[in-house]
Amino acid sequence: MKPFRLFTGIILSVAAASCSVNYDNIYDTEGTVPELMLDEAVFKRVKDSKVSSEIQSKRLEEFKDSGTVLAQDIQFESRNDEGDVNSFGSAGLMKADTNKEIYEFYNGIHIEAPERGVVIDGDSLRWNGKTEQLSGEKEKSVTIKKDGVTLSGSGFSASAVSESFSFASNVGGVYVDKKEEESDGAKDEAAQE
């Protein structure tokens, strides 16, 4: 299977446009008060007079001193130069360290890039904006769908630089041969006639 680029644009645009909310074990803010709190927030990033990305969140909190941003129930999208949506997704929670360019996504993560034919699902992903690495936790499963192949595994790691990905353990998958599937469909139609 050929390696593919994993949504550098989406992750970077989400990360650049995001703020967020503190929940459970995601971030310990004891004694820290957010500088900015927003409910039902919508942020749009504009480039060359066109919206290049958008993020919506049920609640956003920004902690200025630590550079931490937390978001609850986020939806995001990235657009190409023509302004068409080229990737989109959602997550239950996002934690961003804007100083270090580390962005963590949790709870029901779903990312789609229709132009690339790729879908990623998981419960914990981390994007490092400096190294352009996307990774999952060792014990958490991530699923990738592309070109008739569905792979799931733990210890997910991907590089936007080398356009490659890997799993450390518990890997399994399904390959659907589209030519065979099309040929079976034609046989079924002929049999019905």
Domain count, the chain: 1
Tell me if 59 is assigned to some domain. Answer: yes
How many Å apart are CA 156 and CA 138, to the nearest integer? Answer: 7
Whether 1 is covered by a domain: the verdict is: no
3-state secondary structure of 124: strand
111: domain CATH number is: 2.60.450.10
What's the CA gap between 171 and 142, in Å, rounded? Answer: 10
Name the CA dihedral angle for 124, 77, 128, 158, rounded to a multiple of 10 degrees: 70
Q: Hey, how many other C-beta atoms are within 10 angstroms of the C-beta on 82?
A: 7
In this prediction, residue 135 has a pLDDT band, given cuts at 50, 70 and 90, of: very high
- Name the band, by pLDDT with cuts 50, 70 and 90, for residue 188: low
Range of the domain at 24: 8-192
Residue 83 lies in a domain: yes
Q: Determine what percent of the chain is predicted with pLDDT higher than 70.
A: 77
Whether 129 contacts 103, CB under 8 Å: yes
Whole-number pLDDT of residue 184: 60
- CB burial string 43-55: b at 16+ within 10 A, e below: bebeeeeeebbbb
Summarize pLDDT for 71-110 with one digit per residue, the tens. Answer: 999 998 988 888 889 889 999 999 988 888 898 999 999 9
From the list 131, 123, 106, the residue with the least C-alpha distance to 12 is 131
Q: Quick: pLDDT tens for 3-50.
A: 333 333 333 334 333 333 334 545 555 557 888 899 999 988 888 888
Q: What is the mean pLDDT of the chain?
A: 79
In a domain, 151, yes or no: yes
What percent of the chain clears pLDDT 90, i.e. is strictly above it? 35
Does 2 fall in a domain? no
Eight-class DSSP state of 13: H
pLDDT reported for residue 17: 37
**pLDDT value, residue 126:** 94
